[in-house]
């Protein structure tokens, strides 16, 4: 699968996750019900056409969260833990901060490893984290995200992606998917024009990465 198609699919999956995470839109902005359903259908059609890897398609999971969305959710939760740990460290001189995390990109495996470490270390400091709202439920959700991410990541490699779907069907589905995305973009950005938080979440979820081509090197004299 080309980088362009992969990034479009990542955007569609982000939109699917956004829809699942914002059920209030069904009543606040009813047009999104049909559009989110169409987006989910386009994702399924792209999977069926072989745009994603056989390994990913074979998982057959019923959850709406994709591998990309689960990684985004786990990364966000890990950083939330790290921020809370810094606060605890300031307040509790006996607290050993084993919850540091880099500000840069984390690979899928790094996310999994960090989450497992954080969950184990948190058991030594349950009361401190409970005090600031990171309770058993939060860490159970984090473990679930990481477990699903591990299942999806295991055995999935870019070299196995692609499939042999008909090119014409793929291109038609991608065109339909972009049309649905554009319609959702107008509706949601209008609806949340005065809500910077929800608007920012939408922009992040629906973003399509634009890859720039490397410049040709100038010939040496």
Q: What is the pLDDT of residues 76-88, one digit of tens each?
A: 888 899 999 999 9
| Mean per-residue pLDDT of the chain | 79
**Helices of type H across 59-107:** 67-91
**Does 181 share its domain with 145?**
no
**Does 134 share its domain with 180?**
no
**Does 142 share its domain with 168?**
no
For 192, half-sphere exposure in the C-beta direction (CA atoms, 13 angstrom radius) is: 18
Is residue 60 a part of any domain in this protein?
Answer: no
pLDDT tier, 36 (very low <50, low <70, confident <90, very high otherwise):
very high
**Does 134 share its domain with 83?**
yes
Q: At which residue do the structure tokens 């999935």 appear?
A: 156
**Does 73 share its domain with 149?**
yes
Is residue 16 a part of any domain in this protein?
Answer: yes
Domain containing 27 equals 3-52+162-206
Residue 123 has pLDDT above 60, yes or no: yes
**Does 130 share its domain with 75?**
yes
Residue 99 has pLDDT above 60, yes or no: yes
Using alpha carbons, select from 13, 150, 140, 21 the residue that is nearest to residue 77: 140
pLDDT tier, 9 (very low <50, low <70, confident <90, very high otherwise):
confident
**How far is Cα 25 from Cα 197, in angstroms, rounded to an integer?**
15
Residue 60 has pLDDT above 70, yes or no: no
Question: Per-residue pLDDT averaged across 97-105, rounded?
Answer: 81
**Does 175 share its domain with 128?**
no
**Does 102 share its domain with 178?**
no
**Does 30 share its domain with 75?**
no
**How far is Cα 199 from Cα 25, in angstroms, rounded to an integer?**
13
Distance in Å from the first CA to the final CA of the chain: 38
Q: At which residue do the structure tokens 């948190």 appear?
A: 122
* Beta carbons of 138 and 93 less than 8 angstroms apart: no
Domain boundary among 91, 121, 153: 153
Residue 150 has pLDDT above 80, yes or no: no
**Does 72 share its domain with 146?**
yes
Is residue 217 a part of any domain in this protein?
Answer: no
pLDDT tier, 125 (very low <50, low <70, confident <90, very high otherwise):
confident
Is residue 58 a part of any domain in this protein?
Answer: no
**Does 32 share its domain with 72?**
no
Number of domains in the chain: 2
pLDDT tens-place string over residues 172-208: 888 898 999 999 999 999 999 999 999 999 999 998 8
Question: Per-residue pLDDT averaged across 126-136, rounded?
Answer: 90
């Amino acid at each position: 699968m080309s980088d362009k198609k992969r990034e479009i699919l990542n955007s569609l999956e982000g939109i699917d996750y956004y829809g699942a995470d914002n059920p209030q839109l069904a009543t606040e902005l009813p047009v999104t019900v049909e559009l989110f359903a169409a987006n989910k259908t386009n994702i399924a059609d792209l999977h069926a056409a072989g745009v994603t890897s056989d390994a990913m398609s074979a998982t057959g999971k019923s959850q709406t969260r994709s591998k990309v969305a689960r990684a985004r959710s786990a990364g966000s939760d890990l950083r939330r833990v790290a921020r809370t740990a810094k606060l605890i460290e300031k307040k509790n001189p006996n607290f050993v901060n084993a919850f540091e995390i880099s500000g840069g990109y984390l690979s899928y495996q790094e996310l999994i490893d960090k989450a497992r470490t954080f969950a184990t270390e948190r058991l030594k400091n349950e009361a401190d984290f409970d005090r600031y709202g990171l309770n058993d439920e939060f860490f159970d959700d984090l473990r679930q995200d990481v477990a699903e991410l591990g299942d999806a990541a295991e055995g999935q490699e870019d070299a196995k992606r692609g499939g042999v779907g008909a090119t014409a069907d793929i291109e038609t589905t991608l065109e339909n998917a972009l049309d649905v995305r554009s319609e959702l973009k107008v509706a949601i950005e209008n609806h949340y024009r005065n809500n910077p938080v929800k608007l920012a979440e939408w922009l992040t979820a629906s973003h399509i990465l634009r890859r720039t081509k490397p410049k040709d090197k100038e010939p040496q004299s």
